[in-house]
Amino acid sequence: MKFTDLNAHGGIGANCSLCELGPFKFVIDSGLHPKYAGPDSLPRHEIIERFSLDFIILTHCHLDHLGSLPLLSREQPDAPVILSYASSVLARRMLSNSISVMKRQRSELNIPELPYYGRGDLTSLYDRFKTPPLHTPYRLEKNGEFIEITLHHAGHVAGAVSVNVKYNRKSVFFTGDILFNDQRTLDGANLPKEPVDILVTETTRGATEIPKNQSRESEIVRMLRQMNSTLAKHGSVLVPVFALGRMQEMLAVLDEAFRKKAIPKVPVFCSGLGMDLVNHFHEISKNTNRVRFNRKVLKSIGARPLPKKIEPGRRPPMDGIFLVSSGMMVENTPSYVLASSLLGDAKNSILFVGYCDPSTPGGKLLSAQKDETFEFDAVDVIQKTEAKVCKFDLSGHANRDELLSYAKKISPRSVILHHGDPEAREWFKQNLKDEPFSIYDPEPLKTYEI
Ligand SMILES: [Zn+2]
Ligand SMILES: [Zn+2]
């Protein structure tokens, strides 16, 4: 197989891999880099000749995998886009939101090329969607030769799939973003166990050591304890979350906590896109028993939209739990503005439940010391770090040891390290070096013959 990582910045970003297997040329995912705007946020599509792709596969709908798909599909109008049914539902909402965000960035950041795509591009993209059932081979033909693509349930977020591609008795397995553990709203990954020739594995948590006795459940208990202590002091709790997946999972966690009286009943405020996606999760759950979600959860916890009058640096008009995006507290998002309102008061707490890149405001706040001043530049507010700031390990990604033992189980001839920072990949290199596999840590934009 020929493999080229088109994510120019390396690590996790504008995920997009170009693969060639026999006569078939295809791309897995086409994302937008969350830390950049404008041309820097795009994968290097220009390397792919127009009209040359036979198909495109989408693993899931986080924007670092999906965000530039309409652009790629416009350049490759003959290529069908293969994805799960759940992703086909979620992609529509995520991409139309992405157009609105890009339109806003056009004036805010003065980037005239934005938005990169419009509603017309989305319509033509949706016409090319193919949604084969999971765990069932889907065949494509070219000049009398066949390739077989099988999507497998990957956990991580509703719709996420790992992908097995078979051509001429050779098989390549792409994990995509993957979580083996069950969540409240989603079953863990269900992957094939038979050997493969090439494994392309995500490595997101390669640099994360999990303390003994720590589990997802123990982290939920620790988080509820912190919520309790904040609410007992009549403080507010801010939980920055990704709108897709993490928000719905946290709604389910809060619903259960209220029912079991693990925390007192207080108002819960949610922000726009995540609340809309609640309806999409509800629809998806009717078609699969792997996703468990009922929109009634909003009613049962008494969720309300965020009050309009949230002013940066000022106490919000009501106390409660604020479950709002973005998860990394990116500038000018509801979580960023609310943090500027809550950080200066020791009664409040800010609880992170997902990955924060160290260079984002969320990452910086996590490393800030108590009493240190913290600048919210984008809204012109400076606050002393008085509120309790904590992180809980409720990641949507598999632990490194789980990925390692999966790799050993399916005994590939070659392993390609993917979707991870350099330290994370290094851990996998060290821990796989005694295995009889060739390990590749591909440099961006360089083509490897594997
Ligand atoms: Zn993801
Ligand atoms: Zn990802």
**Domain boundaries 2-208+396-449, corresponding CATH code:** 3.60.15.10
The pLDDT value given to residue 308: 82
Closest-approaching ligand to the CA atom of 204: 2
3-state per-residue secondary structure call for 17-32: EEEEECCEEEEECCCC
- Gap from CA of 12 to ligand 2 centroid (Å): 7
Distance CA 396, CA 75 (A): 32
The pLDDT value given to residue 314: 94
- Gap from CA of 356 to ligand 2 centroid (Å): 13
Q: What share of the chain is helix, strand, coil (3-state, %, to 5)?
A: 30, 20, 45
- Gap from CA of 383 to ligand 1 centroid (Å): 32
The pLDDT value given to residue 142: 97
Closest-approaching ligand to the CA atom of 420: 2
Closest-approaching ligand to the CA atom of 62: 1
Closest-approaching ligand to the CA atom of 354: 1
The pLDDT value given to residue 296: 94
The pLDDT value given to residue 197: 98
The pLDDT value given to residue 282: 94
CA angle 361, 201, 29 (to 5 degrees): 70
- Gap from CA of 64 to ligand 1 centroid (Å): 7
Closest-approaching ligand to the CA atom of 31: 2
Q: Biggest alpha carbon distance in the chain?
A: 71
- Gap from CA of 298 to ligand 2 centroid (Å): 27
Model confidence, pTM: 0.94
- Gap from CA of 6 to ligand 2 centroid (Å): 14
Distance CA 307, CA 237 (A): 15
- Gap from CA of 177 to ligand 1 centroid (Å): 5
For 26: left if phi > 0, alpha if psi spans -120 to 50, otherwise beta; the answer is beta
For the chain, report the end-to-end CA distance as a whole number of angstroms: 5
Domain ranges of the chain: 2-208+396-449, 216-391
Closest-approaching ligand to the CA atom of 12: 2
**Domain boundaries 216-391, corresponding CATH code:** 3.40.50.10890
The pLDDT value given to residue 429: 97
Closest-approaching ligand to the CA atom of 154: 1
- Gap from CA of 399 to ligand 2 centroid (Å): 14
- Gap from CA of 177 to ligand 2 centroid (Å): 6
| Per-residue pLDDT of the chain in tens (450 residues, 90 and over written 9) | 999 999 999 988 899 999 999 999 999 999 999 888 889 999 999 999 999 999 999 999 999 999 999 999 999 999 999 999 999 999 999 999 999 989 988 988 899 999 999 999 999 999 999 999 999 999 999 999 999 999 999 999 999 999 999 999 999 999 999 999 999 999 999 999 999 999 999 999 999 999 999 999 999 999 999 999 999 999 999 999 999 999 999 999 999 999 999 999 999 999 878 889 999 999 999 999 899 999 999 999 999 999 887 899 999 999 999 999 999 999 989 999 999 999 999 999 999 998 888 889 999 999 999 999 999 999 999 999 999 999 999 999 999 999 999 999 999 999 999 999 999 999 999 999 999 999 999 999 999 999
